[in-house]
Structure 1
Amino acid sequence: MSKVILVTGAGRGLGTDIARQALAVGHQVVATGRRPEEVETTLGGPQDNLLVTRLDVTSLEDAQAAIDRFGRIDVLINNAGNFYAGYFEEITPAQMRRQMETNLFGPMNVTRAVLPVMRARRAGHVITISSTAGLVGMEFCAAYAASKFGVEGWMESLRYDVEPYNICTTVVEPGFFRTELLVDGSTTWPELSIDDYAARTAPTIEGWKRMNGRQGGDPAKLARALLTLADQDKPPQRFVAGADAIEAVQAKAQELLAQAEASRGLGGDLAYDDTHA
């Protein structure tokens, strides 16, 4: 059944694949990006089921204007994001805030604009692209992981807020997919340079750059999987995407269980003792 699907960051990478495939199977697509003319060109020009509009996810006003223009939204796919790479001390406070504005507050802005429409219809599905780095911390990813860990907590909690109104939520943790996340327009390198980190920073940056275009995951297949989720009556609350991601998340789950058990001796008997009141 045809749905109205809003995709953020539709001008390139995974967002483009999602929009193209949604159009191909007959959905109506609201494709958004900071430069709408580029989005439309990338998607092949004007089409009957395609509506393109400007949306900078860091602007709540942009998000609200997009929703006011198009009204009904059945599925929101929060896809727009970027990557501020680097060791924590070499990332400036301003860079850290910009990472949060795009990756965490960005999807919050768009979702905040969409939810009243979904609540009024008592139907909807919010899908937010997180990352394996939203569940597993990684070297050189302090800002990115912090933003995606925030997405995980927000989306996991949002589920309880909106479930009574028949609105579903799904948070997606992709592994390494051959998107455009590592191109210069999406990746920002640290502005600061600290001698203690210098011997590690340069080769790590080169390693990330070499990875671009060689990631194992196929974004077209991921786009198809996301559209499959969007068509389900009871979509999963979490979707771990890619064999590498599944392996990493399973290892993290085992690690958490081991850490919880190791804490039992010291942390398991900390209840307030009323006899000492």
Structure 2
Amino acid sequence: MRSPEKEQELTGLSGVLVTKLDVTDETSITAAVKAALDAFGQIDVLVNNAGYGALGALEAASDEEVRRQLEVNFFGLIAVTKAVLPSMRAHRTGAIVNISSVGGRITFPFSTLYHATKFAVEGLTESLQYELNPLGIRTKIVEPGGYRTEFAGRSLAPFGAGNLADYQQPWALFTTKLAEWTFSENIREVADVIYQAATDGSEQLRYPVGQDAVQLLQVRQQVDDATFKKVIVEQTGIA
């Protein structure tokens, strides 16, 4: 984790190593992987969960905001994955569980950068299975819906509509609607599915989590693009 000094519960457990890991820092990644290998001998499961959501009109995003979103959500995932693969290949076993989102298969307004990274994670993970499955390594995608976690707080980075008048009203409508949405409190549900994905040994690739995620994905499969767009416009209040 980025700030292991803030963690209190895990540090008191036996058989647990808490170490610093910044997915945008190659030195940090190398040190964290080495620490894990020194402590446990091998890495059986990698859960790529680092990420945040940059929200706003694409035209209003600075180049720095665009690159930062990609660095954390996508390039960081690649860097950590590459760092653990030598150990997994050597032992011919392992599981890589990439935390995507229902937003890796459907999109919402003003979330362009976030969705771009999650669609990329989905494509990477699906393709990677062909390279790694023959080596005894499984790749998995977990797709949570809406849950009340820190993602809705410190892990959101709104850049809004800037000074672009054309986007001001729809952005205001979207953020108002977003504040009204109800998110599940059952975070344990997501943890249980991550554990299932890591340990079930199956060929299953995708694991949607949450009633809202399952329902949205079902609707997406049943209707055409134009119809589904109307569903999202209605749900997000931007019309």
Larger RCO (CA within 8 A; separation ≥ 6)? 2
Give the counterpart letter for 1:143 in structure 2. Answer: L
Deviation larger for 114-123 or 55-64: 55-64
Do the aligned partners of 1:176 and 1:217 also contact (CA within 8 Å) in 2?
no
> Which is higher, the Rg of structure 1 or of structure 2?
1
What secondary structure, in the 3-state scheme, does the structure 2 residue paired with 1:54 have?
A: coil
Do the aligned partners of 1:90 and 1:194 also contact (CA within 8 Å) in 2?
yes
What secondary structure, in the 3-state scheme, does the structure 2 residue paired with 1:172 have?
A: strand
1:131 aligns to what?
A: 101
Superposed counterparts of 1:70-85, under 5 Å: 70-71=36-37, 72-85=42-55
Q: 2:159 aligns with which of 158, 183, 190?
A: 190
Which whole-Å deviations, capped at 9, do the CAs of 1:47-89 have from their partners, x for residues lacking one?
2111011001112221121111221111111111101011211
Instruction: Please give the alpha-carbon distance, in whole angstroms, between the structure 1 residues aligned to 2:166 and 2:155.
Output: 27
Unaligned runs of 5+ in 1: 1-32, 260-277
Give the structure with the higher percent helix: 2
Q: 1:172 aligns with which of 130, 133, 142?
A: 142
Give the counterpart letter for 1:92 in structure 2. Answer: S
Instruction: Please give the alpha-carbon distance, in whole angstroms, between the structure 2 residues aligned to 1:47 and 1:233.
Output: 27
Change (3 A) 1:129 1:256: farther
Unaligned runs of 5+ in 2: 228-239
Q: 2:27 aligns with which of 61, 80, 83?
A: 61
Identity of aligned residues (%): 36
1:90 aligns to what?
A: 60
Q: Give the TM-score taking structure 2 as reference length.
A: 0.86
Alpha-carbon offset, residue 146 of structure 1: 0.5
Change (3 A) 1:107 1:148: same
Do the aligned partners of 1:36 and 1:53 also contact (CA within 8 Å) in 2?
yes
Change (3 A) 1:106 1:256: farther
Instruction: Please give the alpha-carbon distance, in whole angstroms, between the structure 2 residues aligned to 1:219 and 1:120.
Output: 34
Instruction: Please give the alpha-carbon distance, in whole angstroms, between the structure 1 residues aligned to 2:98 and 2:224.
Output: 24
Alpha-carbon offset, residue 256 of structure 1: 6.3
Q: Report the count of equivalent residues.
A: 222
Q: 2:127 aligns with which of 137, 157, 162?
A: 157
Instruction: Please give the alpha-carbon distance, in whole angstroms, between the structure 2 residues aligned to 1:139 and 1:174.
Output: 18
Do the aligned partners of 2:46 and 2:96 also contact (CA within 8 Å) in 1?
yes
Instruction: Please give the alpha-carbon distance, in whole angstroms, between the structure 1 residues aligned to 2:90 and 2:10.
Output: 33
Q: Give the TM-score taking structure 1 as reference length.
A: 0.75
Q: 2:17 aligns with which of 47, 51, 54?
A: 51
Change (3 A) 1:221 1:255: same
What secondary structure, in the 3-state scheme, does the structure 2 residue paired with 1:240 have?
A: strand
Alpha carbon RMSD of aligned pairs, Å?
Answer: 2.0
What secondary structure, in the 3-state scheme, does the structure 1 residue paired with 2:200 have?
A: coil
Instruction: Please give the alpha-carbon distance, in whole angstroms, between the structure 2 residues aligned to 1:193 and 1:70.
Output: 47
Superposed counterparts of 1:227-238, under 5 Å: 227-234=195-202, 236-238=204-206
